[in-house]
Structure 1
Amino acid sequence: MKSSGSVCRILVLSLLAVFCTACGAVDGKYTEPPPVRPDVKTVRQTGKMLNGPDFMSAIRLNDPIKAALDDWLTWGRPQLLEAYEYYQYLKPLIAPIYQKSGFPESLLFAMIATESAGKAHAYSRAGAAGLLQFMRFTGKKYGLRVVDGFDQRLDPVLATHANARYLTDHLKLFHNNIEKTLAAYNGGENRVLGLQQRNKGKAIWDRHIFYALPRETREYVPKVLAAAWLFTHPEDFRLEFPEVDNRLASLKLQRDSSLSELTLCLGQQSVGHKGWFRTLRNLNPKIKPGDVLEKGVTLVVPEVVKKAYHANCATTDEAFLAMASEMHKLNYPDGSNMFYYVVKRGDTANRIADRFQCVSTRELAAINNIRPPRYTIRVGQVLQVPGC
């Protein structure tokens, strides 16, 4: 039986041997990177492993990947299924980029599911952004800039191009080791490069490397590999991905509308469907949720949305559209009508409420954490008072 480190190296090489099938044309305005040419010898050696019994053994013999599989199939299952649906609608635009760069589609999906759950406008607390969560410095290095106020990290097509270029560069740096390349993507290339130099010839799973990585990175690498495996073999784990008609179309608006208004009138495709807001944003990343789009503007939408638009939005009940428009214009109260009042000698909560007439004593007390029934306030205390 092979050792855990050897088996996992075979697992990773196998992932790189899988190529995605053709998926739709890429928007012609984007410049595609030069393709990565896979090592023919490696492909020949590992191609037979993809569906063989040893491949499943490779996953089960590696504790981190097994733990990641369990996470995805239990509490992470909703995120995995949601990411799969969002990915399918983006697939015609971004999967060919990976295909032409020589990377497996399973790896693209796995990184998207792990990084952002398929949400093109996702931000992390550390400042990473977009479908593939580029930090600003790394994004800029790979061509993602802020142009006319738009952060290109949020563009799924441009981010996928940048991601493919990053993998190309770092696979060379890490001697075609995808595990270390993924660790660098998450935890920083300098850290991983240093560990590689101090532990020459050792796999990432070696304790001298693995436990020197941040905890987030130790979880990230097996999680990506596990998601890639589930993408290609869902039936082995009683995992059923939703069927998605991911044909795309251009939709010319027949009336002024925002994405939120469109989402309301489009409704749901079926019971359990989450609606179209996120998909519309992913496919049209430059449009902000608050933007009101003028009649005649063209959007990229799924084919099923185009049909639903003509059935439900173009000729729907005017009262419903008016309600959707009104709801879009409303916001949660932000306190902008509040003003501050400094308590003076002789003031009481009742007198202040009577003086300004736009708030009751009870409301004034609730806003300023003044306890009933005495509503005691002190001279110099600053109160928030709502305007009319």
Structure 2
Amino acid sequence: MPVHVFRACSRPLLRRLPLLVLLPLLSLSGHALARVSAKDQAAIDALNQRMAQAERRYADALVLTANSDPKGQVESDAALEDMEDVIDACIKQRNCQPHTLLATYKRLLKQNADASAEAADDEVIGEGDPLDDGNDHSAPMPALPESARTERLLNDRRHDFDAMVEYNPAVQAGIRRWLTDMRGTLITSYENYQNMRPQMQPGWQGSGLPEALLFGIMAKESNGKVHVSSRAGAAGPLQFMPATGRRFNLGPDGTGFDTRFDAYASAEAAAAYMNERMRELNNSIEYALAAYNGGEGRAARVFRQYGGRGFWDADVYREFPPETQDYVPMVIAAAWLYLHPKQYGLEFPKLNIKPATFKLARAASIYELTICLGNGGTREGFMRTLRNLNPRYQAETWIPAGASLNATTHIANLYQRYCVSGPRAELARTLVTADLSTALRREPPRTGNVAVGEVAAVPGVPTTVATGTPKPATPKTRQTRQYKVARGDTLGGIAGKFDCEVPELAKANKLRAPGYALKPGQQLKLVGCGR
């Protein structure tokens, strides 16, 4: 390993000398000291504490670097500079012994060098992809699994998932589908997962199950669209049925929100469900996935009936419906590609996702925010991200000013720049409140002179005695108007059309925030409206 040289030439002599030269020199600095005052000792303890904090910061930075997080390099450099500052202060502090601090500094540099060497070895094996184990799994891909040709994949066991599943022609066929007509769906699933990962991964990580499995289930179940619901009643990013959800604490909460749509709660429940199934099914991911899709009762019965024979056994395989026969290898294939993209020529988008929140400066809907935020360097903008991260709100729901929304730092910055005020913010407001019915033109009433004869009283219409003209009508008491809700109407759109205040309109019609749910045909009282 090359000897590290401190960086800044303008700094003290310590930072201009090689580390190995400094160690023997500085080790002599404290031998003759016999007694240390309380003041000096307190200062030395403070320096030792700063060194320990910098060491922890450096260790955390190495973890970020190992996970390909660009913050890792920045944090490690900053931690090293913190250490250099501490050593510099130690030299100036009476009775402080820099050699003890330099020993920590040297040890961490060696740890970094060892990690770099290991990463370099991995690059040779995996073509530069830290997730790629280097095995070439491409082969002809028959569409149906055949137990006689099924084999256990032997590899370097860098990924627990690789050792927990069988890589066979059925999985290969699934990989083929994900890489051909479903490639776009897979990449969209990856983008959605990366945006939700700060919410989903913590709920899953304590399970001991591979994260790739979570991605595979989500990709097959919903493509990472949080608000998906099936005709059978399954809902959320991981598609829990109501009864199963209730067993794992998912369902309507005190506000009426169904937590099956919550990314954290659903991931935590999925982890608990999969572990429960695996304990019953000899730790077989294939059987557990079959239970997830085809019912745990069926999976348990088949497992017992065939004495625990594997899912890919021909007799076992035929016991499951076609949907489950397709589901299991497709989930495994998506998870496999999540771990080994490079060797299949798959390049996932490089996303720099940093969770953040922002507070609405004025009431808005996700539709409006999607318009004013723009694309911001993405393919499709931020509507899906905002909906996934804020599942309590429908896209058209008016969210009150002051509400905090989950987002990313990128979205939060774009919001402050384009959505608080200015032409794009006003344009977005105009577009989301546009009412189709106002585009219809009506013929104005005809005007002009009309020849009349002598004024004569009209039966039933009171006239004045002097002129015979109709008396002015006495104005009636102003009545509250009604509006019949049409399909596609939103409360915000109706308020814009009739110049109403949304909160007043909602209160008059007993509509609950934040959803303001409307039904076609519903009669609304137009209270507090200007037109």
TM-score normalised by the chain length of structure 2 = 0.51
Deviation at 1:49, TM superposition (A): 3.0
Deviation at 1:221, TM superposition (A): 0.5
Alignment of 1:146-295 (within 5 A): 146-147=252-253, 148-270=255-377, 273-295=379-401
Alpha-carbon distance change, 328 to 192 in structure 1, aligned in 2, over 3 angstroms: farther
Alpha-carbon separation, structure 1, partners of 2:250 and 2:154: 34
Matched residues in 1 for 2:486 and 2:267: separation? Answer: 44
- The Cα offsets for residues 118-149 of structure 1, whole Å up to 9 and x where unpaired, read as 01111112211000000111111111121222
- Give the letter for the 2:403 counterpart: V
Displacement, 1:290? 2.5
Secondary structure class of the residue paired with 1:182: helix
Q: Given that residues 203 and 265 in structure 2 are in contact (C-alpha distance below 8 angstroms), is that contact kept between their aligned partners in structure 1?
A: no
Q: Work out whether residues 227 and 388 of structure 2, in 8 Å CA contact, stay in contact via their aligned partners in 1.
A: yes
RMSD over aligned CA atoms reads 2.8
- 1:91 and 2:197 are equivalent in the alignment: yes
The runs of at least 4 consecutive aligned structure 1 residues that moved more than 6 Å come to 20-23, 328-331, 335-338
1:260–1:277 Cα contact (<8 Å) kept = yes
Which structure: larger Rg?
A: 2
Distance 1:129 1:323 in 2: 33
Larger RCO (CA under 8 A, 6+ residues apart): 1
1:48 to 153, 156, 161: 156
After superposition, the Cα gap between the structure-2 partners of 1:243 and 1:21, relative to the gap in structure 1 and judged at 3 Å, is closer
Alpha-carbon distance in 2 for matches of 1:226, 1:237: 12
CA 327–207 in structure 1, closer or farther in 2 if over 3 Å, else same: farther
Kept in 2, the 8 Å contact 1:22–1:96? The answer is: no
User: Are the equivalent residues in 1 in contact too, given 2:368–2:429 (CA < 8 A)?
Assistant: no
2:370·2:381 contact (CA, 8 Å) conserved in 1?
yes
2:422 is matched with 316
Partner secondary structure for residue 275 of structure 2: helix
Would the aligned equivalents of 1:251 and 1:300 in 2 still touch at CA under 8 Å? yes
| Distance across 2 between alignment mates of 1:235 and 1:254 | 44
Cα 1:118–1:327 shift into 2, 3 Å: farther
Write the mapping of 1:299-310 to structure 2, written as runs, cut at 5 A.
Answer: 299-310=405-416
Cα distance in structure 1, aligned partners of 2:204 and 2:183? 25
Q: Aligned partner of 2:284: which letter? A: N
Distance 1:328 1:238 in 2: 48
Structure 1 match to 2:222: 116
Q: Cα–Cα, structure 1 residues 207 and 154, in superposed 2: closer, same or farther, change >3 Å?
A: same
Aligned: 1:144 with 2:243: no
- The match for 1:28 is none
The answer to whether the aligner puts 1:125 opposite 2:231 as a matched pair is yes
Give yes or no for contact 1:111–1:224 (8 Å, CA) kept in 2: yes
Q: 1:191 to 1:322 in 2, by over 3 A?
A: closer
Equivalence for 1:81? 187
* AA in 2 matched with 1:291: T
Give the SS at the match of 1:299: strand
Shift of 1:58: 5.8
Distance in 1 separating the partners of 2:201 and 2:231: 28
Distance 1:22 1:103 in 2: 21
Greater CA drift, 257-266 or 192-201:
192-201
Shift of 1:109: 0.7
One-letter code of the match for 1:296? G
User: Structure 1 stretch 315-324 or stretch 95-104: which is displaced more?
Assistant: 315-324
Q: State whether residues 202 and 264 of structure 2, in contact with CA within 8 Å, keep that contact through their aligned partners in structure 1.
A: no
* Identity percentage of aligned residues: 37
Structure 2 CA distance for aligned equivalents of residues 63 and 330 of structure 1: 57
State the distance in 2 between where 1:58 and 1:190 align.
23
1:81–1:302 Cα change, 3 Å: same
Q: Hey, what's the Cα distance between the residues in 2 that align with 1:100 and 1:174?
A: 20
Deviation track 1:189-215 (CA, whole Å, cap 9, x = no partner) reads 111111111111411011111111011
Distance in 2 (CA, whole Å) between partners of 1:22 and 1:157 is 23
Q: Which amino acid aligns with 1:149?
A: G
C-alpha change, 1:312 and 1:85, in structure 2 (3 Å) is: same
**1: distance between equivalents of 2:68 and 2:201?**
8
CA deviation after TM superposition for structure 1 residue 319, in Å:
4.1
For 1:227, give the aligned amino acid: A
Tell me, in whole angstroms, the C-alpha distance in 2 between the residues paired with 1:166 and 1:90.
Answer: 20
The one-letter code sitting in structure 1 at the alignment partner of 2:386 is L
Trace 1:303-382 onto structure 2 (pairs within 5 A): 303-317=409-423, 319-327=426-434
Q: Distance in 2 between matches of 1:190 and 1:280?
A: 37
Distance 1:22 1:122, change over 3 A: farther
Unaligned runs of 5+ in 2: 1-65, 70-152, 439-483, 488-531
Judge conservation of contact 1:21–1:99 (CA < 8 Å) in 2.
no
The number of equivalent residue pairs is 290
Q: 1:156 to 1:80 in 2, by over 3 A?
A: same
